[in-house]
């Protein structure tokens, strides 16, 4: 798509669609899935809208990438600001105005702004202190053990059908696209474990 206001026109390229948010509790439990319509197709705007409207957390999200004429990424980054419970509404409104008037995150990064510098500019007039700094990286929590647990959840009949067809079980993580294959031997071990009688149960007549 041609640029709009000097920026990549992500919204028009995406068009109408949905934002799907999936959360897995860190302490374990069922995955929570929420699906809402896209507001603009711009990532930051749609995520902020979801957090504000669906999660009821006043939020501002800025994300940006500056791409050179050769297609190489010259600068990329973003920020997430959220109001804490009990935050002063007037302060939140003032911060919202400052965020709206701020340059794009990619432009700030290109001109030398680091994370603390960027937050300092966005939070002008609001006392703030840095609690922690750490490197950001993508790390999916999928593991072979989680895949085996998902296969067990399929049930004995499904596993038996795979064995009868002589096929391995294959799974692809929908987050990081890592492919897993569980072969016949391991499938039989899982099925044997499911069929084994429970240990440690005493019965008296």
- The ranges of the chain annotated as CATH 3.55.30.10 are 10-122
* Packed helices 156-165 and 184-195: angle between N→C axes, nearest 10 degrees: 150
> What is the pLDDT at residue 198?
52
Q: What is the pLDDT of residue 199?
A: 46
At residue 44, the pLDDT reads 86
pLDDT of residue 203: 47
- Give the integer Cα–Cα distance in Å for 17 and 38: 5
Identify the pLDDT of residue 204: 45
Class of CATH domain 144-195: alpha beta
Which numeric CATH code is attached to 10-122?
3.55.30.10
Residue span(s) of the chain under CATH 3.90.1280.10 come to 144-195
The answer to whether the CB of 169 falls within 8 A of the CB of 137 is no
3-state secondary structure at position 100: helix
Q: At 72, which helix (H) or strand (E)? A: none
Task: Spell out the per-residue pLDDT of the chain, length 205, in tens.
Answer: 677 666 677 777 777 788 888 877 777 667 778 888 888 878 888 888 888 888 888 888 888 888 888 888 888 889 999 998 888 999 999 998 998 888 888 889 989 999 999 999 999 988 888 999 988 787 888 899 988 888 888 888 888 888 888 888 888 988 888 999 999 999 999 888 888 765 444 444 3
- Tell which residue, 70, 96, 66, has the closest CA to residue 81: 96
């Amino acid at each position: 798509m041609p640029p709009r206001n000097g920026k990549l026109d992500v919204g028009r390229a995406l068009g109408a669609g949905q934002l799907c948010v999936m959360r897995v509790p860190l302490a374990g439990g069922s995955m929570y899935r929420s699906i809402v319509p896209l507001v603009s197709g711009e990532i930051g705007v749609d995520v902020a809208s979801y957090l504000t409207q669906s999660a009821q957390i006043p939020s501002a999200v800025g994300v940006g990438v500056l791409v050179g004429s050769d297609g190489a990424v010259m600068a990329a980054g973003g920020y997430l600001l959220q109001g804490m419970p009990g935050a002063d509404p007037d302060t939140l409104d003032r911060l919202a105005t400052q965020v709206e008037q701020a340059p794009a995150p990619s432009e700030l990064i290109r001109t030398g702004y680091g994370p603390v510098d960027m937050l300092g500019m966005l939070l002008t007039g609001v006392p703030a202190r840095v609690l922690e700094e750490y490197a950001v990286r993508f790390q999916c929590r999928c593991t072979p053990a989680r895949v085996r647990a998902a296969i067990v959840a399929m049930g004995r009949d499904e596993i038996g059908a795979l064995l009868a067809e002589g096929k391995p079980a294959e799974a692809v993580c929908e987050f990081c696209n890592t492919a897993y294959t569980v072969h016949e031997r391991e499938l039989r071990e899982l099925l044997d474990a499911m069929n084994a009688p429970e240990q440690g149960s005493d019965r008296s007549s």
